[in-house]
């Protein structure tokens, strides 16, 4: 049986009524897209691999929107009440999604089931909106279906544009993940409730009106309460993830930066970036000695460090008195600031950034290399101290195009040292980095040292602390090069000539041949 909408009794003219409905469509679409982006962003931070998380969220939500559209057919006869109920539920679920997702990760160690569940629920509710709004707008003034759909989708798409731009440029930097989602839920509840309780109040009985007022009031109260408690919640969740000795926790424009331990706590100083252990003062010297000192065998007057904003690689370089200059290119100014000002981190890096030979640059390593003027002097040593290539945002920094830029600025006889992941758990990723470097005509030597695999691996280290892995490196140059330590080197705590030779043999035993290079257009680190 064909359903024919009954004309609504409106408190305003039909033209104004249509404008109010389309404005509500605009607001609800903006809120819906914020929920999607918030789930993608938080899942990428908590789980890693932003491409996979975006694919999961978007595909599940689009599928669920289809289900929601079908379910909404049953609500058309009471479209106003149905829309109000859908918006109240969407405001509550969408607004609380970030907090719930973070709680699942912090206290249960698993966020993926919650991610899929929230994506499904939010998608069903978003999918139910348009059929109900289509019914409501047709009740104001009948028009052909094509015209009504065009009006609704125009408002919907413009709202999505505003929500998509508001999330990264306003909500995330100003309010953060949790408060931004809660505020969005509040706006969603007000928009949906106001439309029905004012414009379509003639469709509702007195009891139904008061029930909707109470339901929306409860939703807004819950969202406001959670917003007021978001600070203590974040601290409690952070302590659940990192332990109770968190000293510094900053959400920079790039990532979350957390420092734990050090000082009077008696615990090792640890630096976490986006939840991944980057530095542990107990054994970081093993990583940084292995990364830096083999590359110092040969001329090393001018050095470039890509990443390594903690200053620990620079500390090792400055132990050579004949180093003339070190340029550090780090994307996160917050990390550089902490490396210059935090007493424990300054003590660990031996105040490396106070040395007049060191120049700091805040910027993306790829873009900085592209922007170097032709007359710039080349570098004797380039050290790539970047997060693991298994992390999606780092993929371009392990691409053929990136190493092509690096090779352009290597001086004759210069060496490139690369942290390339962990051979123990991800050998294919490591040897893909090697294949990518060799595809440019460079020669490379692989080596590995025992450690905790902490520098930016794709898994969050708090969940796997105590699990020994390895740190694996590549040393590359235009000509075949030996894997040796400099004859005139400072005393080292963990590395000697025999140990480095053994590290090279250990790495070569696991070599995988026939791998193809990774490029910007065909990244291969997820294969």
Residue positions annotated with a catalytic role: 385
Question: Residue 453 and residue 445: Cα distance in Å, rounded?
Answer: 19
Q: In what order do the strands lie in the sheet with 270-273?
A: 246-251, 256-260, 270-273, 276-280
Give how far Cα 109 sits from Cα of 78, 240, 462, Å. Answer: 42, 10, 10
74 and 84 in contact (C-beta within 8 Å)?
no
Taking the alpha carbons at both ends of the chain, their separation in whole angstroms is 52
Tell me, what DSSP letter sits at residue 506?
H
DSSP secondary structure letters along 398-424: GSHHHHHHHHHTEEEEEEEEEE---TT
Around 410, how many Cα atoms within 13 Å sit in the side-chain half-sphere?
A: 25
Helix (H) or strand (E) holding 270: strand 270-273
In the 3-class helix/strand/coil scheme, how is 329-368 assigned residue by residue? EECCHHHHHHHHHCHHHHHHCCCHHHCCCEEEEECCHHHH
Around 56, how many Cα atoms within 13 Å sit in the side-chain half-sphere?
A: 22
510 and 423 in contact (C-beta within 8 Å)?
yes
């Amino acid at each position: 049986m064909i359903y024919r909408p009954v004309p609504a009794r409106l408190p305003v003219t039909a033209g104004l009524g249509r404008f109010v409905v389309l404005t509500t469509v605009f607001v609800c679409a903006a809120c819906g897209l914020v929920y999607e982006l918030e789930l993608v962003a938080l899942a990428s931070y908590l789980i890693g691999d932003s491409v996979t998380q975006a694919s999961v969220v978007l595909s599940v939500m689009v599928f669920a929107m289809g289900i929601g559209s079908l379910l909404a057919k049953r609500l058309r006869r009471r479209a106003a009440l149905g829309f109000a109920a859908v918006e109240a539920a969407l405001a509550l679920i969408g607004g609380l999604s970030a907090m719930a997702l973070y709680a699942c990760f912090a206290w249960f160690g698993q966020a993926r089931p919650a991610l899929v569940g929230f994506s499904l629920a939010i998608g069903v509710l978003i999918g139910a909106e348009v059929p109900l709004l289509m019914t409501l707008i047709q009740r104001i003034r009948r028009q052909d279906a094509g015209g009504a759909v065009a009006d609704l989708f125009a408002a919907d798409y413009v709202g999505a544009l505003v929500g998509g731009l508001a999330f990264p440029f306003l909500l995330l930097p100003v309010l953060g993940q949790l408060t931004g989602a809660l505020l969005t839920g509040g706006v969603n509840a007000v928009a949906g409730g106001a439309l029905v309780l004012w414009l379509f109040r003639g469709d509702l009985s007195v009891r139904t009106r008061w029930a909707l007022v109470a339901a929306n009031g409860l939703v807004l109260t819950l969202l406001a309460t959670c917003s007021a408690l978001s600070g203590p919640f974040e601290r409690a969740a952070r302590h659940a993830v990192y332990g109770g000795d968190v000293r510094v926790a900053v959400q920079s424009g790039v990532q979350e930066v957390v420092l734990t331990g050090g000082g009077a706590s008696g615990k090792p100083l640890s630096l976490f970036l986006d939840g991944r252990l980057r530095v542990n003062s107990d054994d970081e010297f093993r990583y940084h000695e292995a990364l830096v000192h083999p590359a110092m065998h040969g001329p090393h007057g001018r050095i470039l460090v890509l990443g390594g904003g903690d200053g620990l690689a620079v500390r090792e370089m400055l132990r050579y008195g004949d180093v003339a200059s070190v340029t550090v290119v780090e994307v996160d100014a917050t990390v550089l600031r902490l490396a210059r000002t935090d007493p424990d981190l300054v003590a660990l890096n031996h105040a490396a950034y106070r040395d007049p030979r060191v120049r700091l640059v805040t910027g993306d390593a790829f873009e900085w290399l592209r922007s170097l003027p032709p007359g710039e002097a080349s570098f004797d040593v380039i050290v790539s101290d970047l997060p693991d290539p298994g992390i999606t945002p780092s993929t371009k920094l392990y691409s053929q195009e990136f190493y092509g830029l690096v090779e352009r600025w290597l001086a004759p006889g210069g060496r490139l040292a690369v942290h390339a992941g962990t051979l123990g758990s991800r050998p294919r990723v490591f040897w893909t980095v090697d294949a990518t470097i060799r595809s440019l005509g460079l020669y490379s030597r692989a080596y590995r040292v025992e450690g905790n695999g902490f520098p930016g691996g794709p898994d969050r280290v708090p969940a796997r602390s105590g699990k020994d892995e390895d740190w694996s490196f590549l040393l590359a140059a235009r000509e075949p090069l030996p894997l040796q330590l400099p004859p005139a080197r400072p005393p080292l705590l963990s590395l000697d000539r025999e140990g480095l030779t053994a590290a090279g043999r250990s790495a070569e035993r696991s070599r995988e041949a026939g791998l193809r290079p990774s490029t910007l257009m065909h990244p291969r680190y997820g294969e």
